[in-house]
Amino acid sequence: MEHVTVQGVEVPAVGLGTWQLTGEECYETVSAALELGYRHVDTAQMYENEAQVGRAVADSDVDRDDVWITTKVTPGNARRADVVESTEESLERLGTDYVDLLLLHWPNPLVSFRDTARGMAELRDDGRIRHAGVSNFRRWRLRRAREKSTVPILADQVRFHPFYTHGALREYCAKVDTMLTAYSPLAHGGLLDDPVLAEIGERYDKTPVQVALRWVTGFENVATVPKTTSREHLRQNIEVFDFELTDDERDRISRPSYLKSAGLFLRNEMGI
């Protein structure tokens, strides 16, 4: 498994997203992923599946220290005391003494991130989290959070895929040595039948999904957490490091005219 390295920390470049996975389906999917070689699992308080994620990790043959676990604090728990209390509850559900990365799931405009960061710093100092970060923060908000934070911000997790490139944010993250974690890297299935990705994939005997994931992971500071319940797709999603896209192919995938061709998809996805 390839890694993203930021702030001297190595993070598996492809992880498993667990949004909308619950119950035994979540447990079985995480278990299969770990068996296939995944070492990065993403969950959240809001997903209501931390217990299933933790049970799958505990039941696997993989040592806990070899699995990168990310969870997220809901915006309603953004105040310092609530960050600490809710994270302790997350750790209990996960059945672990620590998480590798704790994110604030969404900005809370009613709570200063300075207060959130104090809670994260307390958790880090006590060894209950190893790193802190944010999710769904645009560039200006991430910049302000970094200015206010008493703990280094390792990552910003955002929607990121060839139809939604977050270029300015990604460049800023690279500049300040922060990881951008891409969720929904397959555009909620909108990339499955994309002709450009299919054409490029034929050259490498890869699926459009694998080409899209290789495009995403081709940025040095970007990791990704695609979600799937299919064992075959789980396998395919980590088999993306045995080929390299050319500069021309990367340009074709992200060129402005290509993005314009995806305009209808974007309007539907964003509700505009």
Which CATH architecture group holds 3-270? Alpha-Beta Barrel (3.20)
Helices then strands (H, E): number in the chain? 12, 10
| pTM (predicted TM-score) | 0.93
Q: pLDDT by residue (tens digit) across 4-20?
A: 999 999 999 999 999 99
Strand partners, 208: none
Q: Determine whether 98 is an active site residue.
A: no
Per-residue pLDDT reduced to its tens digit, 240-255: 999 999 999 999 998 6
Report d(CA 235, CA 213) in Å as an integer.
13
CA distance to 161, 164, 188, 189, 191, per residue, from 266 (Å): 11, 8, 11, 12, 12
Cα–Cα distance for residue pair 145/154, rounded to 1 Å: 12
Tokens of 172: 């800023």
Query: Does residue 268 carry a pLDDT above 50?
Result: no
User: DSSP for 184-232?
Assistant: STTGGGTTTT-HHHHHHHHHHT--HHHHHHHHHHTSTTEEE------HH
Compute the average pLDDT of residues 81-100.
98
193, pLDDT greater than 90: no
pLDDT for 121: 98
Q: Which two tokens stand for residue 218?
A: 């081709």
Burial class (CB in 10 A: 0-12, 13-18, 19+), 269: middle
Query: Among residues 27, 38, 47, 172, which one is catalytic?
Result: 47
CA distance 235 to 258: 28
